Structure 1
Amino acid sequence: MYPPRDSGWEADDLDLLPADAPRHIELLDGALIFNMSPQRSWHDRVIRRLTAALEPLAPMDWTVEAQMTVKLNRRSRPEPDIIVASVPYAPERTRFLPEEVALVVEVVSAETEDRDRRYKPGLYADAGIRHLWRIEDENGLPAVHTYELDDTTQAYVATGVRRDRLDTPVPFPVSIDVKGLVR
């Protein structure tokens, strides 16, 4: 696949990729990132179960989506594992805008650990996304690291690590059995 212009790939180009293109493609600073490694069962289970747990807790007319992209700017459109957005479900939607997104969740895998831990949080913070959860595999059990955007520094600050229960009032009241995400 070649960029459609001399200046490289742009966020809206992802909607124009051929139907036979790989399913999980991110655009980070104009570079296409293909997530091609086989997904571990642990990673898939955490995404599915957390999405299912968040859906009934989300306010009316909010959307919880797994593996959709966020158009952060002209040259970056990452694909968090889960997005919680303050907009209603739209069946034809292909991406979200940062001002619609209340929470992004990254479930760290071996292939994505550097991007999920170091690179993408900076992009999300720069775009003004208020909440970030990063889920790590600790000996087969999930650990949810929660962050909130600091208005003064425009950077994320850690608000806790949850290994048993995730109880938080933001972005809406959430109470989830963390260990139950994999058992």
Structure 2
Amino acid sequence: MTAESIDPTARPWSPDPVRQRLANHTIEDVLALPDDAPRVELVDGVMVVVPSPTVGHQGIANLLWAWLHAHCPAHLTAGTALGVAVGANSTCEPDVLLFSPEVSQDNHYLMPHQVMLVVEVVSPSTRRRDRLEKPAVYADAGIPYFWRVEQNPVQVHAYKLTDGIYKEQATSADEFVVAEPFPIRLPIREITP
């Protein structure tokens, strides 16, 4: 076995600046990215590099996924960091989500009608996007439930889509309790790293 040589002139991938200004990237462009490209979301035709999560962020997301995976009913599947095609030229990658188990295992993106719940864990680098921008995008796409998880201390805010906007259902204290999308009694300590 021989080792491949490394090209010292190779540059890390970055979006084409002309196409970024034109805002004409598509989901197909994202699917065609090289393996070494960073994670991106597509916002109105512009590729936005998604920052790497912090250890605390990832810990909360993983613990929440594990809890949902263990407790969700058979008509739902828990996933992490899966793409959702929220428009022809827009995608999001929620931190955790619940979706229909009938989705093909080969899919790169879920369609909004296949998604029941999206969860965003708020980090300092994603505060504005997770609190303001993404909820509006998810609501426009018709996703029935949105949860926002704040850190330090861990707190879950649950929203239900009603008349095209998310209305708050519950906020956690020591325990997170909601009736939908299925009955949940989640002790916050179980998703606190």
TM-score strictly above 0.5: yes
Match of 1:40 among 43, 54, 73: 54
Q: Is the 8 A contact 1:63 1:89 kept in 2?
A: no
Match of 2:160 among 148, 151, 167: 148
Q: Is the 8 A contact 1:163 1:179 kept in 2?
A: no
Where does the alignment leave 5 or more consecutive residues of structure 2 unmatched?
A: 1-14
Alpha-carbon separation, structure 2, partners of 1:157 and 1:12: 33
Q: Deviations over 1:56-91 (max 9, x none)?
A: 222224221111110011111011101111233643
Partner of 2:33: 17
Match of 2:73 among 59, 68, 77: 59
Where is the helix percentage greater, Structure 1 or Structure 2? 2
TM superposition shift of 1:172: 1.4
1:96-175 map, 5 Å: 96-137=110-151, 140-151=152-163, 154-175=164-185
Q: Is the 8 A contact 1:141 1:179 kept in 2?
A: no
The secondary structure found in structure 2 opposite 1:56 is helix
TM-score (norm 1): 0.89
Q: Is the 8 A contact 1:65 1:82 kept in 2?
A: yes
State the one-letter code of the partner of 1:13: D
Alpha-carbon separation, structure 1, partners of 2:185 and 2:80: 19
**Cα RMSD over matched residues?**
1.8
Report % sequence identity: 32
2:46 aligned with 1:31: yes
Q: Deviations over 1:108-143 (max 9, x none)?
A: 011111000011111100110010000011xx3211
Q: Is the 8 A contact 1:68 1:80 kept in 2?
A: yes
The secondary structure found in structure 2 opposite 1:118 is helix
Paired residues, what number? 176
State the one-letter code of the partner of 1:177: P
Q: Deviations over 1:8-52 (max 9, x none)?
A: 111232211111111x21111111111235x32210110000000
Partner of 2:92: 78
